[in-house]
Structure formats: structure tokens, C-alpha cells
């Protein structure tokens, strides 16, 4: 997964390029306390990911690839941790323990975010570490080391993505009398320990937030102490998306395992009063309901819940004890992967005939052929047991995800690679040319690729655009546009594909010499 990720695609704008830009600006400034983006303090995310990026550069030098190892390594660690959690929940079921990381890794949703340089996989790991700590705390008689581990997991989660880590851990901790009825300690002591862990986590976070708030100024201080919590909660209850949106998309998170027949057969047999299943329900259901009620929804917010779902699927599949049931349990899903491989193989030819989209003709049939071969080989193999069947399905899921990624970026990599434009901007800045962007917001997508050390001015409207052009007649303006006859290529110094649009560098003198041009440009 790491090899394919590094060799086939660039950092994806705007998220990956933005986070790399923030780490780069901190590195250039020598300021490891306050994150910056385009010369302004960046309060949207805490600094742990940026610290890890800079740590990789400290060891390996500034490069494009080491920061992209962070997500996959956290994913790998989470797989081992999910197995450890399964071992605690069902100590007498070694097959559930073996199935859990295979099911988790085989989820398309997990595969995608394992390759991205974002905060969500880190948060999923620290949430899982907190879950592991809670279980060890409960079954060890409230041992101090597990209380300490829980506090550290919460603190690291806060430094990863803010107080949302508490939403992932506190409900299941508070519901402990439901999933742990035979506790060997007083519940008062349990809740004291949980409160102490929260205070420890807050203390860890304040070790950064207090000096950062002082160094970043009043606006930054208000943003990190109030904007990340109260302000976002108020905005989130505006019901921009319906409450059932997550419920509607939940099946996507569990593909391809929802097509694996042992899961459905096992679900009918499993006892939901089982202590382990109760724990998983107490972990997943309250958080899922809370996210559903908050209107600010993104599918990746549910990533930390995926280990809980994988544990329940693994436990359900473990109910199938008949060995003969496993030999061909993966055959149906392999058939669907083979069908997908056939479709991808003939897709360019079909597109040449039906003319759906010109880009589809560029898709290499090699990727479909490889997927078809993988599906046929694994479909012909007989599984010895449940982990063997899950392993075949996990391999096929990985193959499908990575081959689709290879095919997509073989065609579209240049549309997501900001390096050519970033290097051109860097060259102009070295010539002391001023650079501005015509638009409402700049997300930092050129800063790390060009190793820029100066901010890019943002021009939000036409009046500001012309004023800036008159003041910087040797400067250049970045504009974004669709292909249009009204914007001939001859007026641009350079232009590049960017996602579904184009970006171009427009000289200030050209803008001023063409009075009608401003009316055509859109921010």
C-alpha cells in the first residue's frame, strides 16, 4: 500500500497540501509552537501531525515522502491494537482475534484513509488506544499504568484533532456498569479514575495550548480555546445535513464485508448479551447517534468507529463453526471482483464506442486484467478456516483499491500535482516578483511543493485585484478557470490543470492592458 501510494500519486490538494504547507511554514520559521499557513496563524487543527512531519524531516531531511508514511504507520499500529482489543473482549476466541485486523484492513474505507496524510487515521489510533486502556483498566482492578495510558491517549487525541476524542471515549467509559456488570471495584473509584484521566489529558493539551495561545496572540488564543469547541458546536447544530445521512451511507463503510455471507449467517446466531458485543455497542452507538445529530457531517468523521464495527463483524463470523462452510465462503465476493475486473478491462473500448467521457478511453485495461487475475486465483483457492477466507477477501479488497487508484492517477495525476505551478511561483518569487491569488481563500496548495518562504496575497474581489495590479505591475496573479473561449491561452504566462479546472499565471501588466479582462475573470 505504501509503495503504490508513493509511486502513483502526489500530495492531494487541498487537505494534504495544506497540512504539508503548515508544517513547512513552522519549519521555515523555526516555530514549533504556533502553526502558520500563508503567513497567518492556523487555528483549525492542533499541532501533533505537524510535529510528526517535522520530526521526519529532522531525521531524513525535508522531503515529500516521509510525511506520507505517517498515516500508513498509524493504520498499521491500529491493526495490531484492534487484535489486542479482540483478545481482551473474547479471550477464549482466538479466531475472532485473528479475523479482526483482516476485516479492518480489508474495508475500502480504511484502505483509502490509510494512504492519506490527514488527522483521521491518527485520531482512530488514539481512540483505539483509549479503548484498549479502558478495557485493561477495567480488567486489571484500576491499575495505575492503564489509567496513565488512558490519559495519554486522550491527551494525544486532543493534540491530534481537538476534544472530539472525548466523544469517542467518554460514553463507553460512562456506560461501564452495562458492559461490565461483575466489576471487582467500586463504581465511584471507576468514575474518579475516568475524571482523573480526562484531567490528565487536558493538562497534556494545555502544555501546548497555553504557551501557544500566548505566543500566537489574542485572536489565535480565542480560536484554539473557543473556536475548536463552543463555536463549532453552535454552527454544527444548524442541520445542514439530515440526521439520517450517516445511516444511509453506513453500508459503504463496511464494504466489501457486507457481501461476505458468513457475516450475515453469524449475525443471526450471535448473542448480543455477550459482554464483548455489549462493549462494542456501548462504544459505537452513542457516538454514531451524536454525530448524526450534529449537522456538520463528513464521512471520515466515522473512521474511529470502524474498529468497533470490525470487532462485531469478526465476532459474528466466528459463530460459523462448520469447517466445510469456509471453503467457498469468499467465492461470491471474488465473483463480484472478477466482474469489476472485466468491466475495467473492456471500459476503454466501450467508451470509444459510446463516447461517455474522453478520459475513460485513457484508462489502461491492464488494471482491470490484473484485478480479474487476482479474483480468479483467489476464487479458485479453498479456504481452510475463517481467517484464511478473510485473508483472501482482504487481499482482493486491497488489490481492487490499489489497482483502481493506479488507473485513476495514471490519467489524472497531473490534475492533482501542484508542484509544477508551485515551482514556477517559487522561481518568480526568487526574481522578487509579487504573487497574488484571485479568489476568496488560499489553502496553501503551492507552499510546500514550491518550498515558498513568502505569503501569497489573496485578492477577494475585482476592486482589490486592480488595485494590487497597479501597485505590483511586475507581479503575477493566480487565477482559476474552466476551459473557455473568453480566456484565450495567449493571455497567460503559464497554465496548469488543477482538478476539474485550470489554474494560470496572469501578468499584472496584461490585466491592466486589457480593460475588459476583469469582467470575464471570476474569483
- The residue with greater pLDDT, 341 or 487, is 341
Measured CA to CA, the distance from residue 169 to residue 126 in angstroms comes to 10
Residue 127 has pLDDT above 80, yes or no: yes
- At residue 233, the pLDDT reads 47
Are residues 28 and 444 in contact, defined by beta-carbon separation less than 8 angstroms? no
Q: Which three-class secondary structure state does DSSP give residue 15?
A: helix
Q: Sign of the CA dihedral 11, 13, 19, 24?
A: positive
3-state SS class at 375: helix
Question: What pLDDT is stored for residue 523 in this prediction?
Answer: 73
Residue 225 burial class via C-beta count within 10 angstroms: exposed 0-12, middle 13-18, buried 19 and up: middle
- pLDDT value of position 227: 67
* 3-class secondary structure, 422: helix
* Each residue's pLDDT tens digit, 9-58: 999 999 999 999 999 999 999 999 999 999 999 999 999 999 999 999 99
Which of the four pLDDT bands, split at 50, 70 and 90, describes residue 491?
confident
Specify whether the CB–CB gap between 124 and 303 falls below 8 A.
Answer: yes
Q: Determine the 3-state secondary structure of 433 from DSSP.
A: coil
Cα–Cα distance for residue pair 232/218, rounded to 1 Å? 19
The pLDDT confidence band at residue 514, using thresholds 50, 70 and 90, is confident
Q: How many helices (H) and strands (E) does the chain have?
A: 24, 7
- pLDDT at position 243 is 86
More confident residue, 1 or 237: 1
Q: With beta carbons less than 8 A apart as the criterion, state whether 71 and 110 touch.
A: no
pLDDT at 239: 44
Q: Output the pLDDT for position 486.
A: 63
- Mark 298-332 as b/e (b = at least 16 C-beta within 10 Å): eebbbbbbbbbbbbbbbbbbbbbeeeeebeebbbe
Give the percent of the chain with pLDDT over 90: 82
- Give the pLDDT of residue 428: 96
Give the residue-averaged pLDDT of 76-90.
97
448 has pLDDT over 80? yes
Output the CA–CA distances (angstroms, integers) from residue 150 to 2, 4, 153, in the order listed.
30, 35, 5
Whether 224 and 209 have beta carbons less than 8 Å apart is answered as: yes
Q: What are phi and psi of 478, to 5 degrees?
A: -85, 125
Contact criterion met (CB below 8 Å) for 407 and 435: no
pLDDT mean over 275-299: 93
**Tally of CA atoms within 13 A in the half-sphere of 5 that contains its CB:** 22
- Residue 229: per-residue pLDDT: 54
pLDDT digits (tens, 9 = 90+) for 387-401: 999 999 999 999 999
Q: Give DSSP secondary structure letters for 67-127.
A: GGGHHHHHHHHHHHHHHHHHHHH-TT-HHHHHHHHHHHHH-HHHHHHHSS-SSHHHHHHHH
Residues 397/256, Cβ–Cβ less than 8 Å = yes
Q: What is the DSSP string of 219-271?
A: HHHHIIIIIIIIIHHHHHTT-SS-TTHHHHHHHHHTTTGGG-HHHHHHHHH--
Amino acid at each position: 500500500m505504501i509503495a503504490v501510494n508513493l509511486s502513483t500519486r502526489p500530495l492531494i490538494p487541498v487537505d494534504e497540501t495544506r497540512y504539508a504547507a503548515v508544517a513547512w511554514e513552522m519549519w521555515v520559521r523555526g516555530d514549533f509552537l504556533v502553526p502558520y499557513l500563508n503567513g497567518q496563524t492556523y487555528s483549525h487543527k492542533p499541532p501533533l501531525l505537524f510535529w510528526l512531519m517535522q520530526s521526519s524531516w529532522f531525521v531524513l531531511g525535508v522531503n515529500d515522502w516521509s510525511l506520507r508514511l505517517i498515516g500508513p504507520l498509524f493504520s498499521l499500529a491500529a491493526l495490531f491494537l484492534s487484535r489486542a482489543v479482540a483478545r481482551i473482549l473474547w479471550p477464549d476466541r482466538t479466531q475472532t482475534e485473528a479475523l479482526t485486523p483482516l476485516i479492518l484492513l480489508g474495508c475500502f474505507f480504511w484502505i483509502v484513509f490509510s494512504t492519506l496524510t490527514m488527522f483521521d487515521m491518527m485520531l482512530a489510533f488514539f481512540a483505539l488506544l483509549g479503548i484498549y486502556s479502558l478495557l485493561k483498566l477495567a480488567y486489571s482492578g484500576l491499575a495505575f499504568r492503564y489509567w496513565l495510558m488512558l490519559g495519554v491517549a486522550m491527551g494525544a487525541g486532543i493534540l491530534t484533532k481537538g476534544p472530539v476524542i472525548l466523544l469517542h471515549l467518554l460514553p463507553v467509559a460512562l456506560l461501564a456498569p452495562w458492559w461490565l456488570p461483575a466489576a471487582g471495584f467500586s463504581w465511584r473509584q471507576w468514575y474518579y479514575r475516568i475524571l482523573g484521566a480526562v484531567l490528565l489529558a487536558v493538562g497534556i493539551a494545555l502544555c501546548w495550548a497555553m504557551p501557544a495561545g500566548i505566543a500566537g496572540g489574542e485572536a489565535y488564543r480565542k480560536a484554539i480555546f473557543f473556536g475548536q469547541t463552543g463555536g463549532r458546536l453552535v454552527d454544527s447544530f444548524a442541520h445542514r445535513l439530515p440526521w439520517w445521512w450517516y445511516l444511509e451511507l453506513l453500508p459503504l463503510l463496511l464494504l466489501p464485508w457486507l457481501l461476505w455471507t458468513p457475516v450475515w449467517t453469524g449475525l443471526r446466531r450471535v448473542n448480543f448479551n455477550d459482554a464483548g458485543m455489549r462493549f462494542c455497542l456501548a462504544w459505537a452507538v452513542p457516538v454514531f447517534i451524536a454525530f448524526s445529530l450534529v449537522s456538520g457531517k463528513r464521512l471520515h468523521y466515522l473512521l474511529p468507529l470502524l474498529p468497533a464495527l470490525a470487532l462485531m463483524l469478526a465476532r459474528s463470523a466466528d459463530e460459523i463453526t462448520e469447517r466445510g462452510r469456509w471453503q467457498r465462503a469468499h467465492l461470491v465476493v471474488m465473483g463480484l471482483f472478477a466482474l469489476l475486473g472485466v468491466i475495467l478491462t473492456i471500459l476503454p473500448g466501450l467508451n470509444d464506442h459510446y463516447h461517455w467521457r474522453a478520459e475513460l478511453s485513457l484508462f489502461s485495461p491492464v488494471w482491470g486484467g490484473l484485478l480479474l487475475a487476482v479474483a480468479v486465483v483467489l476464487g479458485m483457492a479453498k479456504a481452510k478456516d475463517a481467517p484464511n477466507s478473510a485473508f483472501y477477501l482482504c487481499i482482493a479488497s486491497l488489490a481492487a483499491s490499489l489497482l483502481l487508484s493506479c488507473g485513476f492517477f495514471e490519467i489524472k495525476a497531473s490534475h492533482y500535482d501542484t508542484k509544477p505551478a508551485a515551482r514556477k511561483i517559487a522561481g518568480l518569487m526568487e526574481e522578487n516578483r509579487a504573487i497574488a491569488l484571485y479568489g476568496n481563500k488560499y489553502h496553501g496548495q503551492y507552499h510546500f511543493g514550491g518550498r515558498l518562504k513568502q505569503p501569497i496575497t489573496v485578492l477577494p474581489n475585482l476592486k482589490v485585484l486592480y488595485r494590487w495590479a497597479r501597485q505590483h505591475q511586475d507581479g503575477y496573479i493566480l487565477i482559476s478557470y474552466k476551459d473557455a473561449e473568453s480566456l484565450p491561452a495567449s493571455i497567460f504566462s503559464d497554465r496548469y490543470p488543477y482538478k476539474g479546472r485550470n489554474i494560470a499565471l496572469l501578468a499584472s501588466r496584461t490585466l491592466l492592458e486589457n480593460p475588459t479582462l476583469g469582467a470575464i475573470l471570476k474569483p
